[in-house]
């Protein structure tokens, strides 16, 4: 590098801008080559190859290049599990100039690797990584070549790595092994230093990411490099004097003597101190005393004052040459955690003093803003944090199951006055304590504390989330004899290591071993209290799954509520914001019944929308009450399209206007609120929209209870529901013509076998559709939860085993018990060849088809041209008997069939409003049932005296009622809870299957005389039953992997 050419290195972090300036002294130059941007990405066998952005992750790259769809959509988290089970390689090529290679030291720096990787440079392994939360650097000077250099990062499956680490830990288990089955997550996340929630959590999907999630670069220097500048203001209360503890993290090639000058010109404070930077990475601490005559303006939390900052300049001189210069912001504030006896109450207090003033904390828990960190843009962070401030929050708890947030997050919190309770990334688990694990944790903690301690927003460190409580209250069923082992591991990890490192690195703020904890009380009990939830000590986590969150009496009177949450029944993971139409339709039913109270039933919302609707409405309830000091819930964002949900946000004092809508002195509907604010026609609600309507919704929270009013108008429906429903009903109605087309085949000897199979198929589909889908829908729970599918299979198994054993015993003992009825048999049959229309009668294995009453005593009609011909009063093609001469049973069949078909249509319509797959499943069951049913009805109409054209006409006429039922089903299912429809349909399906069609199937078998023939028919019955049941079972079990519409 030319001696006369200055080199500047700009590093952005912690609100700090570092600049190096080279004077005329040779050898102090530095150079940085940024390696972010376009890389290539491939999987283990090379079957997937694509371009990928760095910083980024595999999921994001696959999505951007069109290899996968939106991972958040429906059940794609399960569909894309394969990604995390494969190994992936990032590759790039870069040029290393002779000037860069001439430096004494060249480092390849990774700010964040997710997670387990081998680093290759020009075909040589230069290092490995195993911690998502650490920065890694590798010396590469001697491996660089002139021209192109190939850098590869080979990432191993985090799921398989965690499993291998678990197997290697054979001495005792480290619970939990796996998340609950309902989360569809991965196992052993506590064995890998990675975002714990990426293997799934109760609020989010499982996306075990892999990638280069932060920057990559080459750093070259000859003498030394300033890695980081940290500044921590400390206040001496007795002397009423401030001092700034400045820490320089330096990497020196050789021992270097330097005069370091510290200056804060705005406070008229300056100091020059000699120092010696030793070879390697060293931590060098200096103290700058602030001039006592200067007035120091303090940093205050949101709502308590301003947040001025001061400029700190650091310069290093060797002789008269300036060899380094750095500049950073400094905020002055003090923080104390007060734990002292409370007059008239057991236990200790637990509150924070900022600058000597007790501060009431009100805020939320912060979980990762996106499953893929590269999707969290500066705009997203600003929007979320600004929303928290506008909601009158002054604190956020960075939850221990996520990530240490990016530098911008903390800088924005500094500026906005948001206090941060910072967890270390350990949550809801025990952890291994082998030395290699402990060492990577120590490195992680050192780096994170050094990175973050300059931020005044951080007011406390906390070792973990809920691990003390898990151990104290025995979440994991640890035997009493093994408990000392887990207590020892807990103290070793969080007290002897993490706490010790934090107290060495940062003496300016308190450290709590866990949350919740009894604080000083837990310490006195050996760091694990008997009851970490004791409301008289420390902080508390409170969860309620049934109580009314608007009744203040349900809340415990804690010293400090650092986390609480209320859950709504049926809430599921958010996929995307519902449209305004969905929100308007669903809220208008319940809005005036006060959706926020426990008296309002859960609306029937498509499952992928129910949680976001409830949480979006919770956004507007922030200021309805003033509970004790608390963080409440978890702020979460999905994308820059404002896919935002607030996990049980419900706290804080408010200055939000409570104005009512003009013309609506009380209780406006959701429709009126949206229309008033000009949102009646927008397609999707954004955070900005929610912020606009929040004051109006808050007003309703504060008003007396509003009477229930029905919606004034039915909103437009999704046309695909009508289309699918019409198609399904049309296919089903075509079954009414089966009798006409199958007449020639009824005398065939194989026809009874075909009919038997379809009757069995109908019984299997109707029975299983009722038990597996319609009844669970009617009762309002997910059939895939709580092992319901397994129990339902048991119900069918009991029915099938009894059927099977009974039939085997009857055939073995040659016993036939007559019961049931059949559409296909008459009490007495007229003689064969006695039917002038050429209709047939069943002999042996054939089915009776006749247009006369099969009474055995009547005589056949003379001919169609007799005086009784109805052609004079009916359409020509409907010629046959007069209406009055057709037997009454024909009209009973026609009317009952019309009712039957109406309910079929009702069930189909309601099913399609839930999902295409549910509608398809119900339609399948009905199609299987309609084949034998309509054929039987056709036979009865002929046997009751109708001609073939008359039977076709009236059979079709009764089938048309299915369309009417479809229309009612869609309208009712879309605008009201369709549970009653499913209950009626479920009962009807069970009746048809067991009381109607099962005896018909038995009668056909009973008519067979030979044992071998009976066995064949019995096997056909089994095939039909099991086929029908299997179809519906597969649809139910694999619903998440079937995409229809």
Tokens at residue 379, please?
A: 């705009």
Cα 741 to Cα 734: distance, rounded to the nearest angstrom: 11
Cα 666 to Cα 920: distance, rounded to the nearest angstrom: 44
Average pLDDT over residues 994-1022: 80
Query: pLDDT tier at 194 (50, 70, 90 boundaries)?
Result: very high
Choose the most confident range, by mean pLDDT, from 200-214, 722-736, 801-815: 200-214
pLDDT in the model for residue 683: 56
CA dihedral 467, 468, 471, 474 (to 10 degrees): -90
Average pLDDT over residues 636-654: 30
Average pLDDT over residues 700-708: 49
Cα four-point dihedral sign 566, 569, 572, 575: negative
Cα 1006 to Cα 1004: distance, rounded to the nearest angstrom: 5
Residue 818 has pLDDT above 50, yes or no: no
pLDDT in the model for residue 84: 97
Residue 648 has pLDDT above 60, yes or no: no
pLDDT in the model for residue 492: 98
Buried b (16+ CB within 10 A) or exposed e, 934-952: bbbbbbbbbbbbbbbbbbb
- pLDDT tens-digit series, residues 600-620: 333 333 323 323 333 333 333
Average pLDDT over residues 182-186: 95
pLDDT in the model for residue 682: 64
Do residues 534 and 517 make contact, with C-beta atoms less than 8 angstroms apart? no
Cα 80 to Cα 791: distance, rounded to the nearest angstrom: 28
Average pLDDT over residues 90-102: 96
Average pLDDT over residues 785-807: 70
pLDDT in the model for residue 410: 98
Please, what is the average pLDDT of the chain?
Answer: 77
Look up the pTM and report it: 0.59
**Is the previous residue joined to 965 through a cis bond, with omega within 30 degrees of 0?**
no
pLDDT in the model for residue 436: 96
C-alpha dist (Å) from residue 192 to 8, 159, 830: 38, 9, 82
Residue 1045 has pLDDT above 60, yes or no: no
Residue 571 has pLDDT above 50, yes or no: no
**Residue of higher predicted confidence among 915 and 845:** 915
Average pLDDT over residues 478-505: 97
Length of the chain: 1045
Average pLDDT over residues 731-735: 71
- pLDDT tens-digit series, residues 949-992: 777 788 778 778 888 888 887 887 776 656 677 777 777 777 77
User: 201: which DSSP letter?
Assistant: B
C-alpha dist (Å) from residue 956 to 183, 875, 926, 936, 988: 48, 15, 16, 14, 21
Average pLDDT over residues 69-78: 94
**Residue of higher predicted confidence among 446 and 621:** 446
Helix (H), strand (E) at residue 209? none
- pLDDT tens-digit series, residues 349-402: 999 999 999 999 999 999 999 999 999 999 999 999 999 999 999 999 999 999
Supply angle C-alpha 729, 730, 734, rounded to 5.
115
pLDDT in the model for residue 69: 95
- pLDDT tens-digit series, residues 356-368: 999 999 999 999 9
pLDDT in the model for residue 747: 66
Residue 488 has pLDDT above 90, yes or no: yes
Query: pLDDT tier at 98 (50, 70, 90 boundaries)?
Result: very high
Q: Choosing from 31, 219, 247, 466, which is the catalytic residue?
A: 466
Helical residues (DSSP H) of 353-455, grouped into ranges: 378-390, 407-416, 435-452
Matching residue, tokens 């109607």: 996
- Distance, C-alpha 10 to centroid of its chain: 39
- Dihedrals phi, psi of 241, to nearest 5 degrees: -130, 140
Matching residue, tokens 């906005």: 416
Query: pLDDT tier at 467 (50, 70, 90 boundaries)?
Result: very high
What SS3 string covers 594-640? CCCCCCCCCCCCCHHHHHHHHHHHHHHHCCCCCCCCEEEEEEEECCC
Do residues 634 and 544 make contact, with C-beta atoms less than 8 angstroms apart? no
pLDDT in the model for residue 857: 38
pLDDT in the model for residue 737: 66
pLDDT in the model for residue 269: 95
Do residues 403 and 370 make contact, with C-beta atoms less than 8 angstroms apart? no
Supply angle C-alpha 859, 864, 865, rounded to 5.
120
Q: Tell me, yes or no, if 563 is annotated catalytic.
A: yes
* 3-class secondary structure, 989: helix
Average pLDDT over residues 506-531: 96
Average pLDDT over residues 680-707: 63
User: 496: which DSSP letter?
Assistant: I
Query: pLDDT tier at 589 (50, 70, 90 boundaries)?
Result: very low
pLDDT in the model for residue 878: 55
Average pLDDT over residues 717-722: 68
Average pLDDT over residues 909-930: 76
pLDDT in the model for residue 169: 93
**Residue of higher predicted confidence among 668 and 977:** 668
Do residues 758 and 770 make contact, with C-beta atoms less than 8 angstroms apart? no
Tokens at residue 952, please?
A: 């076709």
The closest of 436, 444, 433, 408 to 136, measured between CA atoms, is 444
Tokens at residue 107, please?
A: 């480092």
H helices then E strands: how many in the chain? 27, 35
Looking at the DSSP assignment, which residues form a beta bridge with residue 365? 397, 634
Residue 501 has pLDDT above 80, yes or no: yes
Range in 80-89, 262-271, 387-396, 853-862 the model is least confident about: 853-862
Cα 924 to Cα 928: distance, rounded to the nearest angstrom: 6
Q: Over pLDDT 70: what percentage of the chain?
A: 70
Residue 21 has pLDDT above 80, yes or no: no
Q: Choosing from 219, 563, 842, 1002, which is the catalytic residue?
A: 563
- What contacts 439, CB < 8 A, 6 or more positions away? none
Within 10 angstroms of residue 409's Cβ, the number of other Cβ atoms is 25
C-alpha dist (Å) from residue 158 to 163, 283, 745, 887: 9, 33, 62, 74
Range in 312-316, 592-596, 821-825, 1004-1008 the model is least confident about: 592-596
Average pLDDT over residues 642-665: 34
pLDDT in the model for residue 939: 62
Cα 180 to Cα 200: distance, rounded to the nearest angstrom: 9
User: 221: which DSSP letter?
Assistant: E
Cα 954 to Cα 945: distance, rounded to the nearest angstrom: 13
Average pLDDT over residues 528-544: 93
Cα 1007 to Cα 1014: distance, rounded to the nearest angstrom: 9
Query: pLDDT tier at 462 (50, 70, 90 boundaries)?
Result: very high
Average pLDDT over residues 997-1024: 80
Residue 886 has pLDDT above 70, yes or no: yes
Do residues 127 and 108 make contact, with C-beta atoms less than 8 angstroms apart? no
C-alpha dist (Å) from residue 263 to 299, 497, 846: 20, 35, 107
pLDDT in the model for residue 677: 77
Matching residue, tokens 């194989």: 750
Burial class from Cβ neighbours inside 10 Å (0-12, 13-18, 19+) for residue 66 reads exposed
- pLDDT tens-digit series, residues 1026-1038: 887 788 788 777 7
Average pLDDT over residues 46-55: 97
Residue 839 has pLDDT above 50, yes or no: no
Tokens at residue 578, please?
A: 């519902």
pLDDT in the model for residue 765: 73
How do 269-277 and 511-512 pair as beta strands?
unpaired
Buried b (16+ CB within 10 A) or exposed e, 1016-1040: ebbebbbebbbebbebbbebbeebe
- What contacts 802, CB < 8 A, 6 or more positions away? none
Helical residues (DSSP H) of 432-510, grouped into ranges: 435-452, 467-472, 483-490, 500-505
Residue 135 has pLDDT above 80, yes or no: yes
Tokens at residue 945, please?
A: 């005296």
Cα 919 to Cα 128: distance, rounded to the nearest angstrom: 52
Tokens at residue 923, please?
A: 């339609």
Average pLDDT over residues 739-762: 71
What SS3 string covers 941-977? HHHCCCCHHHHHHHHHHHHHHHHHHHHHHHHHHHHCC
Query: pLDDT tier at 42 (50, 70, 90 boundaries)?
Result: very high
Helix (H), strand (E) at residue 16? strand 16-19
Within 10 angstroms of residue 743's Cβ, the number of other Cβ atoms is 19
Cα 353 to Cα 1005: distance, rounded to the nearest angstrom: 85
Cα 748 to Cα 756: distance, rounded to the nearest angstrom: 14
């Amino acid at each position: 590098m030319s001696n006369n050419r200055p080199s500047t290195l700009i590093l952005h972090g912690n609100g700090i801008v570092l600049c190096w300036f080279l004077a005329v002294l040779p050898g102090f130059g530095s150079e940085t080559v940024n390696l972010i941007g376009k890389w290539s990405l491939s999987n283990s066998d090379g079957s997937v190859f694509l371009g990928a952005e760095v910083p980024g992750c595999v999921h994001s790259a696959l999505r951007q290049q069109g290899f996968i769809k939106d991972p958040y959509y429906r059940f794609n988290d399960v569909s894309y599990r394969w990604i995390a089970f494969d190994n992936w390689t990032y590759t790039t090529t870069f040029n290393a100039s002779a000037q860069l290679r001439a430096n004494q030291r060249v480092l390849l720096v990774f700010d964040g690797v997710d997670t387990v990787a081998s680093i290759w440079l020009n075909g040589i392994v230069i290092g490995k990584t195993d911690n998502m939360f650490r920065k890694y650097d590798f010396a590469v000077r001697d491996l660089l070549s002139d021209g192109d250099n190939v850098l590869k990062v080979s990432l191993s499956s985090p799921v398989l790595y965690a499993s291998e680490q678990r197997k290697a830990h054979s001495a005792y288990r480290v619970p939990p092994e796996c998340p609950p089955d309902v989360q569809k997550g991965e196992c052993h996340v506590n064995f890998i230093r990675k975002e714990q929630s990426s293997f799934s959590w109760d609020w989010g999907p499982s996306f075990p990411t892999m990638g280069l999630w932060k920057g990559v670069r080459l750093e070259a220097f000859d003498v030394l490099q300033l890695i980081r500048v940290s500044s921590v203001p400390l206040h001496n209360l007795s002397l009423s004097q401030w001092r700034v503890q400045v820490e320089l993290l330096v990497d020196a090639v050789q021992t270097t003597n330097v005069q370091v000058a510290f200056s804060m010109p705005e406070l008229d404070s300056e100091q020059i101190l000699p120092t010696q930077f030793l070879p390697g990475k060293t931590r060098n601490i200096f103290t700058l005393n602030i001039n006592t005559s200067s007035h120091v303006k303090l940093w205050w939390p949101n709502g308590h004052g301003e947040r001025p900052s001061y400029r700190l300049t650091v310069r290093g001189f060797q002789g008269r040459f300036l060899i380094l210069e750095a500049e950073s912001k400094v905020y002055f504030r003090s923080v104390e955690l007060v734990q002292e006896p409370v007059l008239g109450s057991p236990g200790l207090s637990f509150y924070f003093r900022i600058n000597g003033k007790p501060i009431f904390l009100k805020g939320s828990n912060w979980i990762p803003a996106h499953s893929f960190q590269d999707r969290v843009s500066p705009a997203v962070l600003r929007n979320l944090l600004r929303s928290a401030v506008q909601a009158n929050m002054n604190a956020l708890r960075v939850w221990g199951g996520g990530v240490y947030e990016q530098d911008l997050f903390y800088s924005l919190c500094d500026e906005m006055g948001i206090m941060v309770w910072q967890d270390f990334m350990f949550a809801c688990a025990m952890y291994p304590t082998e030395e290699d694990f402990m060492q990577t944790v120590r490195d992680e903690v050192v780096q994170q504390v050094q990175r973050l301690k300059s931020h005044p927003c951080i007011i406390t460190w906390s070792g973990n989330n809920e691990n003390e409580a898990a151990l104290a209250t025995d979440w994991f069923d640890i035997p009493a004899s093994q408990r000392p082992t887990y207590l020892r591991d807990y103290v070793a990890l969080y007290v002897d290591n993490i706490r010790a490192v934090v107290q060495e690195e940062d003496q300016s703020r308190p450290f709590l071993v866990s949350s919740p904890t009894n604080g000083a009380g837990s310490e006195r009990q050996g760091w694990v209290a008997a009851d970490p939830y004791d409301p008289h000590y420390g902080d508390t986590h409170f969860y309620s799954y049934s109580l009314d969150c608007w009744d203040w009496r349900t809340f415990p009177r804690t010293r400090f509520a650092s986390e609480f949450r209320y859950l709504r029944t049926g809430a599921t993971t958010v996929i995307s914001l519902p449209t305004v139409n969905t929100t308007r339709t669903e809220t208008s039913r319940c809005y005036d019944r006060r959706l926020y109270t426990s008296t309002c039933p859960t609306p029937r919302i498509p499952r992928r929308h129910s949680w976001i609707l409830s949480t979006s409405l919770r956004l507007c309830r922030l200021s309805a009450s003033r509970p004790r000091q608390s963080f409440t819930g978890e702020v979460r964002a999905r994308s820059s399209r404002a896919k935002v949900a607030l996990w049980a946000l419900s706290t804080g004092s408010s200055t939000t206007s409570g104005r009512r809508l003009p013309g609506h002195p009380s209780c406006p509907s959701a429709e009126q609120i949206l229309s008033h604010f000009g949102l009646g026609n927008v397609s999707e609600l954004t955070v900005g929209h929610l912020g606009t309507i929040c004051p109006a919704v808050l007003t309703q929270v504060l008003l007396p209870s509003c009477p229930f009013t029905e919606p004034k108008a039915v909103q437009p429906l999704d046309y695909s529901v009508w289309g699918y429903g019409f198609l399904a009903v049309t296919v089903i109605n075509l079954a009414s013509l089966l009798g006409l087309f199958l007449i020639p085949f009824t005398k065939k000897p194989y026809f009874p076998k075909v009919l038997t199979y379809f009757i069995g198929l109908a019984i299997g589909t109707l029975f299983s559709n009722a038990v597996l889908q319609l009844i669970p829908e009617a009762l309002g729970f997910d059939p895939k939860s709580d092992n319901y599918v397994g129990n339902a299979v048991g119900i069918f198994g009991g029915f099938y085993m009894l059927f099977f054993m009974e039939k085997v015993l009857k055939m073995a003992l040659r016993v036939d018990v007559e019961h049931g009825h059949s559409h296909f048999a008459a009490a007495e049959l007229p003689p064969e060849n006695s039917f002038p229309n050429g209709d047939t009668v069943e002999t042996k294995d054939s089915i009776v088809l006749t247009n006369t009453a099969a009474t055995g005593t009547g005589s056949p009609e003379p001919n169609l041209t007799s005086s009784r011909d109805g052609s004079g009063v009916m359409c020509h093609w409907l010629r046959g008997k007069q209406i009055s001469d057709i037997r009454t049973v024909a009209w009973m069949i026609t009317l009952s069939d019309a009712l039957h078909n109406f309910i079929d249509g009702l069930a189909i319509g309601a099913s399609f409003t839930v999902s295409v797959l549910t509608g398809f499943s119900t339609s399948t069951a009905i199609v299987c049932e309609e084949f034998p049913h309509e054929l039987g009805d056709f036979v009865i109409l002929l046997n009751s005296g109708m001609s073939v054209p008359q039977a076709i006409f009236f059979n079709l006429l009764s089938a048309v009622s299915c369309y009417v039922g479809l229309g009612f089903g869609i309208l009712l299912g879309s605008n009201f809870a369709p549970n009653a429809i499913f209950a009626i349909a479920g009962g009807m399906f069970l009746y048809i299957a067991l009381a109607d069609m099962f005896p018909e199937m038995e009668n056909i078998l009973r008519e067979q005389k030979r044992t071998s023939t009976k066995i064949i028919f019995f096997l056909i019955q089994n095939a039909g039953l099991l086929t029908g049941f299997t179809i519906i079972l597969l649809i139910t079990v694999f619903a998440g992997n079937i995409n229809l519409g």
